[in-house]
Structure 1
Amino acid sequence: MRRILVLDDEALIALDLAGVLEDEGFAVCGPYNSVDDALDAIDAHAPDGAILDVNLGQDKTSAPVADRLGQHDIPFAFLTGYEQIDEKLEERHRDRPRLGKPFDRTRIATLVRGMLGN
């Protein structure tokens, strides 16, 4: 079973996203709400893919997690409530797939399968 890391600081959204992924046959790594926890999880047992909220509150972003995933060639996508997302993303991550909040269950499943090449 393919493992998908979920990083989102909003517990209800993270749990809903995890439920969607599980319903689609994926194992969920997390969900995590902090950069440190997500980085520890990647180092302990690398996931097959990830969905990352861009803004994690208190002026923190998921950029360090995105960087680590990129170093390991692990595909990932961003999930965000921001319309002007390019202002929040570092330029090196602007070509990554992204979905807006609230998310559509079918689009999440399609996005993850596309990221993983299924």
Structure 2
Amino acid sequence: MYKVMIIEDEPLIALDLTKILEKKGFEVTGHVGNFEDAHALFHANKPDIILSDIKLEDNESGIEVIKELKKISDFSVVYLTSYGDDEIVEKALQTHPVAYITKPFKESV
């Protein structure tokens, strides 16, 4: 079973993602909305996959959080964001995500 960590500052979106992922058989290790909490949860659970928003609490960047966590250990990343401009996409691609999904999104069966 893959362990998934969610970095999302919108609690309702994080809970919705948790339900979807658990229904699909993933183990969700938790969800956080900022770098400090992400760092702590990452160390505690060593996820295989991180789903990350790009714009987080207090104007923190999910891309920068992912860059820092990748210095610690390898994992797959999927970005979920409402931002799709070329500059942000280019920065996100530098972290080698497996997917870049724009919000709003729908669960696929």
State the TM-score, normalized to the length of structure 1.
Answer: 0.78
Answer whether contact 2:33 2:57 (CA < 8 A) is retained. Answer: no
1:89/1:46 CA distance change after superposition, 3 Å: farther
Q: Does 2:65 correspond to 1:65? A: yes
Deviation string, structure 1 residues 57-112 (Cα, Å, up to 9, x no partner): 4321113431244231111110001131633763623x422101111212xx8xxx
* Structure 2 match to 1:100: 102
Structure 2 distance, partners of 1:37, 1:15, is 16
Structure 2, unaligned runs of 5 or more: none
Structure 1 distance, partners of 2:83, 2:74, is 26
SS of equivalent residue, structure 1 residue 44: helix
Answer whether contact 1:54 1:89 (CA < 8 A) is retained. Answer: no
- 1:19-58 to structure 2, matched below 5 A, reads 19-58=19-58
Deviation string, structure 1 residues 11-56 (Cα, Å, up to 9, x no partner): 1111101110011011112111121111111112201111000000
Answer whether contact 2:8 2:32 (CA < 8 A) is retained. Answer: yes
Structure 2 distance, partners of 1:99, 1:30, is 20
Structure 1, unaligned runs of 5 or more: 110-118
Structure 2 distance, partners of 1:27, 1:50, is 12
Output the aligned Cα RMSD.
2.1
Answer whether contact 2:29 2:45 (CA < 8 A) is retained. Answer: no
* Structure 2 match to 1:14: 14
Answer whether contact 1:69 1:76 (CA < 8 A) is retained. Answer: no
Over the matched positions of the two proteins, sequence identity in percent amounts to 29
Q: Structure 1 residue runs of 4+, over 6 Å off?
A: none
Structure 1 distance, partners of 2:86, 2:7, is 17
